[in-house]
Amino acid sequence: MNSSADDVIRSVADAVQRRAQARGTSVPALDSVRSMVDSDESEMAVDYLVNTVNAFRLVLRQDEYDRLMWAADQLGSADDVTDIEPQLLAPAADEA
């Protein structure tokens, strides 16, 4: 268990969920990401988060991508993060 990486995964999932809700989209799969982290399945949570972002066409800010990449690297699953579709990446909030 890597609590720092776990915290990053949770915070990125929470931020993505807030933006999805703001656009009126319910994404229960993001709750599953948090459950996986809580169940000590963080590597699987990273992959699931990436698949959810792609499947629901959710925006991931560049700073969130960078933090998620760091967390995934800590867990040995950085390759999963590179599967995010580039058109779903947005500038960091302070760059927009």
Distance of alpha carbon 95 from alpha carbon 8, whole angstroms: 20
- The whole domain housing 53 covers 3-88
In 1-96, the DSSP E strands lie at: 60-61, 89-90
Q: What string of DSSP letters covers 21-40?
A: HHTT---THHHHHHHHHHTT
Assigned domain for 76 exists: yes
> What pLDDT is attached to residue 1?
57
Q: Is residue 96 part of a domain?
A: no
pLDDT number for residue 96: 46
pLDDT, one tens digit per residue, over 49-91 is 999 999 999 999 999 999 999 999 999 999 999 999 999 999 8
Say if 63 falls within a structural domain.
yes
Q: How many domains in the chain? A: 1
Are 63 and 70 within 8 A, CB to CB? Answer: no
Q: What is the pLDDT of residue 7?
A: 97
Q: Let me know if residue 93 belongs to a domain.
A: no
Domain membership of residue 17 (yes or no) is yes
Q: Average pLDDT of 23-40?
A: 95
Is residue 9 situated within a structural domain? yes
